[in-house]
């Protein structure tokens, strides 16, 4: 499902704990925006220089971001609540979802896709997925960053798209022309 579909509430996101992935169906070329559409959380500007985005971009990778969502203290959080925070941040609201903010400095974010996978230990699953991506690409996904401890800038570090997804109740190969090159074989739900 696309981010645009989720924004228009034409798609349902799981309320269970789990992980979610933001990806582009066509990895390159990319267009960066001078200003992020993200919200200024706690007065912090979410925009970074285009040079920072260019340095973080992972060519030929479909996956832009991997996020996790636990159940929270109430047990009622999960993927839906966390992704809602992510979307609201991307629409300019000052929401506490600073992770993955580079995505909101891309042109065409409504065309980006989201897939999710409910699981019992989101932190371990996120770590595992990021490890698979790093093994394949030598870096972390585009929108994953590590704050510079000196406080000056983010240090960009560079998952490839899973080749099997549960889409509208059936397993599909994704992307068909690149499936032979993919080793990330987890199933994700995209409806």
Number of H helices, E strands in the chain: 4, 7
**What is the reported pLDDT for 77?**
85
pTM score? 0.75
Tens digits of pLDDT across the chain (191 residues):
677 666 656 457 778 899 989 988 887 789 999 999 999 988 889 999 999 999 999 998 999 999 999 988 887 788 888 888 888 898 999 888 878 889 999 999 988 888 888 999 999 999 999 989 988 888 899 998 755 444 444 444 433 334 333 332 222 333 333 322 223 334 444 43
Contact 25, 62 (CB under 8 A): yes
Give the integer Cα–Cα distance in Å for 179 and 62.
12
pLDDT at 95: 85
Q: What is the structure's pLDDT at 178?
A: 31
Three-state secondary-structure class, residue 65: strand
Q: State the Cα–Cα distance between residues 53 and 35, nearest whole angstrom.
A: 12
Element (DSSP H or E) covering residue 117? strand 113-118
Q: Do the beta carbons of residue 32 and residue 103 sit within 8 Å? A: no
Domain residue extents for the chain = 3-181
């Amino acid at each position: 499902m696309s981010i645009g579909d989720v924004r228009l509430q034409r798609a349902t996101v799981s309320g269970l704990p789990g992980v979610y992935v933001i990806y582009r169906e066509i990895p390159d070329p990319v267009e960066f925006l001078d200003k992020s559409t993200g919200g200024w959380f706690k007065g912090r500007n979410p925009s970074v220089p285009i040079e920072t985005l260019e340095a973080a971009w992972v060519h030929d990778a479909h996956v832009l971001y991997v996020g996790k969502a636990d159940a929270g203290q109430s047990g009622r959080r999960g993927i839906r609540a966390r992704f809602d925070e992510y979307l609201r941040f991307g629409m300019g609201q000052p929401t506490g979802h600073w992770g993955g903010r580079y995505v909101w400095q891309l042109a065409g974010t409504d065309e980006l896709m989201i897939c999710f996978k409910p699981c019992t230990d989101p932190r371990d699953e996120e770590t595992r997925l990021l490890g698979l991506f790093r093994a394949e690409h030598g870096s972390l996904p585009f929108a994953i960053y590590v704050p510079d401890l000196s406080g000056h800038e983010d240090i960009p570090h560079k998952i490839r798209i899973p080749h099997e997804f549960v889409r509208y109740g059936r397993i599909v190969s994704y992307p068909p022309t690149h499936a032979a090159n993919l080793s990330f074989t987890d199933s994700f739900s995209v409806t």
